[in-house]
Amino acid sequence: MKTVYELGDELGLERSELLPHGHFVAKLNARQILDRLGGSPDGKYVNVTAITPTPLGEGKSTTVMGLTQGLGRRGERAIAAIRQPSGGPTMNIKGSAAGGGLAQCVPLGPFSLGLTGDINAVMNAHNLAMVALTARLQHEFNYTDAQLAERGLRRLDIDPRNVEMKWVMDFCAQALRETIIGLGGKSDGLMMRSGFAIAVSSEVMAILAVATDLKDMRERMGRIVLAHDKQGQPVTAADLEVAGAMTAWMVGALDPNLMQTLEGQPVLVHAGPFANIALGQSSIIADRIGLKLADYHVTESGFAADIGFEKFWNLKCRYSGLRPNAAVLVATIRALKCHGGAPIPVPGKPIPDAYKEENVAWVEKGCENLVHHLGTIKRSGIRPVVCINAFHSDTANEIAAVRRIADAAGARVALSRHWQLGGEGALELADAVVDACNERSEFRFLYDMETTFRRRIELIATEVYGADGVEYAPDALKAIKRMEEDPELSSMGVCMAKTHLSLSDNPSLKGVPKGWKLFVRDILTYRGAGFIVPVAGTIKLMPGTASDPAYRRVDVDVETGRVRGLF
């Protein structure tokens, strides 16, 4: 690996802009870099997304690393941007999302185990807000208005039955989804229902992804809604006088982390929201830095194009003002077979043998899912590039079928063997992306901000997911009507929470489901981040740990201190 100083010199960074955390990881002084380079032109902006994945994922992070390495092999100055992995999937089934084979982000140990502490800062900031809320509830219950005034407090009249926020931790802990807190005596807090969500679903994490600078982050922190009072009015972090302290925890986290690919290209790792329950993007700050420092900046969106790309398109690009030059849609033969009728893989168990045998009919049928996602990307005005992420079991006939169908759908197609061969295996993909970036595009959003929330949700459901319409649970319908009547909320975006395993809200429906309606059972409000979150189907904000999690194989060499078993 190159040291961070070597990477910094290659990027043209000044030493004061590099904040080392050891030899191979550093923070970048975002404010100083963007102030110095603010007037310089941007490089090309490339988004990587995917078809609907199997439960094991389809290699978007691997493709981001491979494409960046391939561009490097072509003599281009390329930088990647990915999210920091959550401890939940790292210690569960999916792994740490650093890529794989010869297309990885390194060093893997620090990347997988907390990096420079950004997620820890998110947890502390979020849970501090919950401490402020629960303490205030206890004091308001125990003290009169006069006694509160003696302590410099006014009664907020918080309704303990209308608390919107939960606690967070960075593991998959299904036993903590619903809890009762405040058991004990008068000094132990107010007894009430509560629970936990995973840290990367926190609104604080979403704010880290969309904030443009420290001032913007501080203002957004104050707007976070934790609960409502007994008249139904929101109680914010500013009301609790905790927003400043929350931001204090996040000052260092606002700077992106610098790492590298196996072939020495820079990788910016920053923010880590899931895409199925949150924004699913690395930070706007990381993208702005990458675009100033590189000819090509490659950024990843979580899960498939119906989730990650849709949020990149209609939320991240809207907030950042940045416009992509190309989009890569990652597909694997095995995922296409899954959508074409093959047995659905079970997390934690070996891939069924049927996936190792040629079956062109399954691939062709599964390509209906690929073509649907191509349509989503093309609606944004971008002509996509299909990356066939190659596995050793893929056959020439299966690959030819994907090429034929994707080409007929109006996309460039590239076979990439970056997992096996690194950048050398991604040259066809790199060339296709360069060609796509040189093609004029007419970027456009799916909706404008004057569109009502219900119409926006309907457009996402029908135009992106392929639903016949939208149905609401009674409480969700009341909430959305109330939000549409609130002028302060009209400028917020819509960030859907939905399963990543299907275009629909039912994870068992593969391919391109027909004859269904999206069921919205709840609406969350992220005023600080700037969007509402319709929750569809049975998606949960705290995932569960499986029976054969990855932590069973993680250990430490006691002689060297090196961690083994991460993937």
Asked if 292 is an active-site residue, the reply is: no
Residue 8 three-state SS: helix
Asked if 60 is an active-site residue, the reply is: yes
Which CATH topology does 455-536 take? Formyltetrahydrofolate synthetase; domain 3 (3.10.410)
Single-letter amino acid code for the residue at 22? G
pLDDT in tens, 516-529: 999 999 999 999 99
pLDDT band at 226 (very low <50, low <70, confident <90, very high): very high
Q: What is the rounded CA–CA span in Å between residue 370 and residue 379? A: 14
Single-letter amino acid code for the residue at 266? P
Mean pLDDT of the 476-495 span: 91
Q: What whole-number percentage of the chain has pLDDT above 90?
A: 90
CA distances 101 to 78, 150, 168, 420, Å, are: 20, 63, 33, 6
Q: What is the rounded CA–CA span in Å between residue 231 and residue 246? A: 26
Residue from 98, 275, 304, 411 carrying the catalytic annotation: 275
Q: What whole-number percentage of the chain has pLDDT above 70?
A: 99
Mean pLDDT of the 120-133 span: 98
Q: Strands 158-163 and 225-229, how do they pair?
A: antiparallel
CA distances 11 to 46, 83, 171, 174, 428, Å, are: 19, 21, 35, 43, 25
Counts of helices then strands in the chain (DSSP H, E) = 20, 25
Q: Six-digit token pair at 492?
A: 């917020």
Asked if 419 is an active-site residue, the reply is: yes
Q: What is the rounded CA–CA span in Å between residue 502 and residue 500? A: 6
The count of other CB atoms within 10 Å of the CB of residue 254 is 23
At residue 332, φ and ψ (nearest 5 deg) are -120, 150
Residue from 62, 68, 236, 299 carrying the catalytic annotation: 62
**Closest among 519, 425, 400 to 470, alpha carbons compared:** 519
Burial category of 14 from C-beta neighbours within 10 Å (exposed 0-12, middle 13-18, buried 19 and up) = exposed
Answer whether residue 567 shows pLDDT above 90.
no
Q: What is the rounded CA–CA span in Å between residue 266 and residue 79? A: 5
Mean pLDDT of the 183-204 span: 94
Q: What is the rounded CA–CA span in Å between residue 154 and residue 161? A: 20
Answer whether residue 401 shows pLDDT above 80.
yes
Prior bond of 107 cis (ω within 30°):
yes
> Cα–Cα–Cα angle for 434, 436, 437, nearest 5°?
65
386, containing H or E segment: strand 385-389
Parse the chain into domains and list their residue ranges: 118-240, 455-536
Asked if 403 is an active-site residue, the reply is: no
Single-letter amino acid code for the residue at 8? G
Which residue has tokens 């809320």? Answer: 133
Answer whether residue 488 shows pLDDT above 90.
no
Residue 79 CA to chain centroid, in angstroms? 18
Q: What is the rounded CA–CA span in Å between residue 451 and residue 463? A: 15
Asked if 186 is an active-site residue, the reply is: no
What is 118-240's CATH superfamily? Domain 2, N(10)-formyltetrahydrofolate synthetase (3.30.1510.10)
Weakest-pLDDT range from 45-49, 160-164, 272-276, 469-473: 272-276
Prior bond of 55 cis (ω within 30°):
no
Mean pLDDT of the chain: 95
Asked if 378 is an active-site residue, the reply is: no
Which comes out higher in pLDDT, residue 186 or 69? Answer: 69
pLDDT band at 222 (very low <50, low <70, confident <90, very high): very high
Which residue has tokens 């000094």? Answer: 187
Residue from 27, 60, 288, 510 carrying the catalytic annotation: 60
**Closest among 313, 286, 133 to 224, alpha carbons compared:** 133
114 phi-psi bin (left φ>0, alpha ψ -120 to 50, beta other): left
Query: Tell me, what's the pLDDT at 178?
Result: 96
Query: Tell me, what's the pLDDT at 56?
Result: 66
DSSP string, 182-220: --SSGGG---EEE-EEEGGGSHHHHHHHH--SHHHHHHH
**Closest among 386, 378, 388 to 464, alpha carbons compared:** 378
**Closest among 381, 432, 443 to 406, alpha carbons compared:** 432
Q: What is the rounded CA–CA span in Å between residue 318 and residue 128? A: 30
Residue 296 three-state SS: strand
pLDDT band at 93 (very low <50, low <70, confident <90, very high): confident
Asked if 78 is an active-site residue, the reply is: no
Answer whether residue 57 shows pLDDT above 80.
no
In angstroms, the first-to-last Cα distance of the chain is 18
pLDDT in tens, 164-190: 999 999 999 999 999 999 999 889 999
149, containing H or E segment: helix 145-150
Weakest-pLDDT range from 24-33, 154-163, 397-406, 483-492: 483-492
Q: Strands 44-50 and 326-331, how do they pair?
A: parallel
Q: Strands 385-389 and 326-331, how do they pair?
A: parallel
Burial category of 131 from C-beta neighbours within 10 Å (exposed 0-12, middle 13-18, buried 19 and up) = middle
Asked if 481 is an active-site residue, the reply is: no
> Which residues contact residue 321 at a Cβ distance below 8 angstroms, ignoring those fewer than 6 apart?
none
Q: Are 526 and 540 in contact (CB under 8 A)?
A: no
Residue from 2, 391, 473, 567 carrying the catalytic annotation: 391
Residue from 24, 30, 54, 94 carrying the catalytic annotation: 94
Q: What is the rounded CA–CA span in Å between residue 216 and residue 361? A: 52
Residue from 111, 171, 274, 419 carrying the catalytic annotation: 419
Mean pLDDT of the 382-392 span: 95
Strands (E), 428-547: 470-472, 493-494, 518-526, 531-536
Residue from 24, 49, 81, 83 carrying the catalytic annotation: 83
Weakest-pLDDT range from 59-73, 125-139, 469-483, 533-547: 533-547
Residue from 303, 313, 519, 531 carrying the catalytic annotation: 303
Q: What is the rounded CA–CA span in Å between residue 338 and residue 303? A: 16
Q: What is the rounded CA–CA span in Å between residue 240 and residue 259? A: 38
Q: Strands 103-106 and 99-100, how do they pair?
A: antiparallel
Query: Tell me, what's the pLDDT at 564?
Result: 92
